[in-house]
Structure formats: structure tokens, C-alpha cells
Structure 1
Amino acid sequence: MTGSEESPSFRLAYVPGVTPAKWARIWNERLPDIPLTLAQVPAAETDGLLRGGEADAAFVRLPVDRTVFSAIPLYTETTVVVVPKDHVITAADEVTLDDLADEVLFHPLDDVLDWDSPPGEPAFERPATTEDAIELVAASVGLLVVPQSLARLYHRKDLTYRPVTDAPQSSVALSWPEEATTELVEDFIGIVRGRTVNSSRGRAEAPPSTEPAKRKSTEKAPARKNPAAGGAKSGSRPQRGRAGAPKGAKRGNPRRRS
């Protein structure tokens, strides 16, 4: 190895709200000699990060450019509205967008829901980030509709949230550049898909020790010898008399009676 070569490692990016700890733990158990580097990045930056080769794969929010990236959808999140704990909405278990029609709803610049703008009264400005919008909700200036994972990520004791049943939803996927599907990427795909340690890579490999069994099953069994004497039909058994000899056979000495 020359001084310019680096030891292999796997660089995994993830957007806010995704918790990669479970998959990272399995990686460290199965490939302890290959470090896994985690980096949380804003959702809008994952595209450029993967294109630039700064990450091998990333947990992203769909959609992605399918002409460049491969993606494995993992789950779709519940959408919630974040409100102060003393807000009237907390009296309900869930709400609809119509219930929010008279509320001021923030639309942060890093919004991850697939809509041009949220319903309700427009806010006086668009906060730069979801975290900034959460601060404004805490100040009782307006409300915020986000995926549930982001409501949990930026949790405050003075805020709570309720599901919005008819709001757009955000889906999370594992994505990577299609032209950079390396063996380490295949390893991580296997982990995310829940494959066992013996099949985690996802590459097509012939199952071990199956060929001899196939040959054995296709070989013709040798013809059995006819157990019957005198050319009797296969499967027939010689008939025996009461003394156990074949029927028709003489017993004792073959002498004529006088």
C-alpha cells in the first residue's frame, strides 16, 4: 500500500429525524475492521453530497433523481402539527387540514413535505430552518406541520403535537449513486434489508454444496435384481407351503412309495 492509499471505510449520511444507530451497530458487529462514519446533513444537501462522492450512501427523504441515484424506500412517516401545550388543538387526538384553516402555519425553507405552501393563514416570514420554526411555535406566533420524527427531534417541554390525517407525508429511503454501487454499499443494503450475516452482501452467490445434491437427485437409480426365481415378474414373491418351502417343492427324501 502506498502512502496515498487510504484504509477502507464507509461514509453514511442521514437527514434530521432519521436514527441510524441500529444499522450502525449491526455494521460494527459484522465488519469491525471497516469504520462506519456517520454525518447528519440537511435534507437539501444530500443530493450534492452523494454526487460529489463525499458519502457512499445516505438516508434521504424522497423523491430523489432516479436517473442518477438508486433508492430503497424504507418507511413513510406520520405527519403532525406542533402546537403549544395549552392550544385548543390538544383537546383532539388527531386533526385535519380543515381544522388548521384559521391558524398561522409556518413554512420553513427546509420544509420536507411535498406542498407549495401549507394551508391556513400565511406567516409573516419563512423561517430558515425547521428548528427556527419550532422556536416561533413556542412563542405562540403560529403552528408547524412536520414529519413526526422532526417533532420529536426538536422536542420542547412546552410543546406537543397531534397527527394530521390528510396532510402530505414524507418517506425515508436509503439512496446512493447508481454508478457507485460498491461492495460496501451492497453490504449496507443487506443490513438495511435485514439479511442474515451469511447473505448480507446482496450479491448473487451460488449456495454452497448444492451441486452434488443436484447430481444425485438427477441420476437414475440402478435397476434392481429380480428377487423372484425362475423369471417371475418383478415385485412378485415366491409362494411357500406350510413348511416354509416354495409351493410345489418336495419335502424330505425324494423316494417313491412302495
Structure 2
Amino acid sequence: MPPERSAPFRVGFVTGATPDKWAGIWRRRSQDPLELVPVTEADQERGLRDGSLDMCLVRLPVDRDGLHCIPLYDEVPVVVAGQDHLVSVADEVTLDDLDGEQLVLPHASGWTPSADQLDWPPMSVRDAVEVVAGGTGILIVPMSVARLHHRKDVVQRPVSDLPPTTIGLAWLVDNEDERVQTFIGIVRGRTARSSRE
């Protein structure tokens, strides 16, 4: 009788996070199947708490109640605007430079704009990029998200006085699956030999 295969180890990743390198190392080292699951920032904790994900690459902050989380790296916030926008002539901008601009997708920015900058209905990042490409409004997102939705008719510039966002690796405190420690070891750069020890 063939050995029973274990359930896939499911790792979520928020939009913009890139788990491919770690997944490749996992697949070279482990016989256990690994499944990568894209999640939105709004749903990044839900999968962990309902048990549909074993771990998740999340964009901080997250509710740490019942969760372990290792911060991994920071992301620079950028403004995305139409290619003819004034920000295109700068290497970087500040929030003062963007004063009075219409912010197309407020919840993506980590910045609380004034009430007169909030005239847009909810939309996806892809739709927001399309709006700003048409020359209307601006979008502020982490650089990885801007790269994911890059188009030739938009520009992106760092916003120097906004704090960076952080990507972290999160899992439930009571998840005792040994594969959790294996994946942590891979993310932290442990060799196959050291992770076995």
C-alpha cells in the first residue's frame, strides 16, 4: 500500500508579497505538498483564524491576539499617478506635495487624507490604477503592489514622509504542525542540515 500523503501545507500571501523563492526551497527539501494561496489584505487574518491557512505572509499591522508574527521586510510607499502628472518630474514626493489631490483608493495607503480628498467609491487596486492612468486622482500603495499593477501610462514615486509598511509571517499560536517550524527555517535562511538539527 502506498504511504498516505499528508494534507497540503497552505501558506497565504497578501497582494504584493512574493513567496516563490521560499516555496521553491520547500519543494526541493520536502515531500509534503505546499499550496500558495493569494489573499487580500482584508482577508489575511481570516484564513489563519478559520484554519484554512497554516501560515500567511501578511501586511502589518495584524491583531496579534492568538497569533505569532515575524516581521520580514519593509516596503516603501509610493504614489501612482498618470504619466503627465506633476509627480513625474520628481524623484520622490512628500505629503505636502500631494495636498489637494484626490486619493482614489484611501484604504490602500496607510495615510488618512482630508475629507475633501475622499470622493471615490470603493474599487480594486487594478481599477484605481486605471482611473489614475486616465489622469484623474492619485493612488498611494506599497511599492510591491504598484509594481504588480504597473502600466506604461502611469508613474510611481516614493513618498518620503510616509512610514514604510511591513510584511510579516504569521501563524496561530496553537498551531503545532512541525511544518510550521520547517517553513520558518526556510524563511530565516536555515540550511536543510540546520533545519533537520
TM above 0.5, one fold? Answer: yes
Q: Is the 8 A contact 2:105 2:123 kept in 1?
A: no
Give the C-alpha shift of residue 138 in structure 1: 1.2
Q: Which of 49, 53, 73 matches 1:75?
A: 73
In the alignment, which residue of structure 1 is the partner of 2:120? 125
**2:163 maps to 1:165:** no
Q: How many residues align?
A: 195
Q: Is the 8 A contact 1:127 1:133 kept in 2?
A: no
Code of the aligned partner of 1:189: I
Q: Is the 8 A contact 2:82 2:155 kept in 1?
A: yes
Aligned CA-pair RMSD: 1.9
Code of the aligned partner of 2:41: A
Where does structure 1 lack aligned partners over 5 or more consecutive residues?
206-258
Q: Deviations over 1:119-160 (max 9, x none)?
A: 595142233222221111112110011100110011111011
In the alignment, which residue of structure 2 is the partner of 1:17? 16
In the alignment, which residue of structure 2 is the partner of 1:100? 98
Q: Which of 107, 110, 114 matches 1:114?
A: 110
Taking the aligned partners of 2:134 and 2:114, their CA distance within structure 1 comes to 20
Alignment of 1:200-239 (within 5 A): 200=195
In the alignment, which residue of structure 1 is the partner of 2:176? 181
Change in CA separation of 1:168 and 1:83 when aligned onto 2, cut-off 3 Å? same
**Structure 1 SS opposite 2:78:** strand
Give the C-alpha shift of residue 59 in structure 1: 0.2
In the alignment, which residue of structure 1 is the partner of 2:133? 138
TM normalised by structure 2 equals 0.92
TM normalised by structure 1 equals 0.71
Q: Is the 8 A contact 1:97 1:119 kept in 2?
A: no
Change in CA separation of 1:50 and 1:163 when aligned onto 2, cut-off 3 Å? same
Taking the aligned partners of 1:91 and 1:194, their CA distance within structure 2 comes to 40
Select the structure that is richer in strand. 2
Code of the aligned partner of 2:80: V
Which structure has the greater CA radius of gyration?
1
**Structure 1 SS opposite 2:51:** coil
Give the C-alpha shift of residue 74 in structure 1: 0.4
**Structure 1 SS opposite 2:150:** coil
Select the structure that is richer in helix. 2
Q: Which of 84, 99, 105 matches 1:86?
A: 84
Q: Which of 44, 51, 54 matches 1:53?
A: 51
**Structure 1 SS opposite 2:64:** coil
Code of the aligned partner of 2:136: V
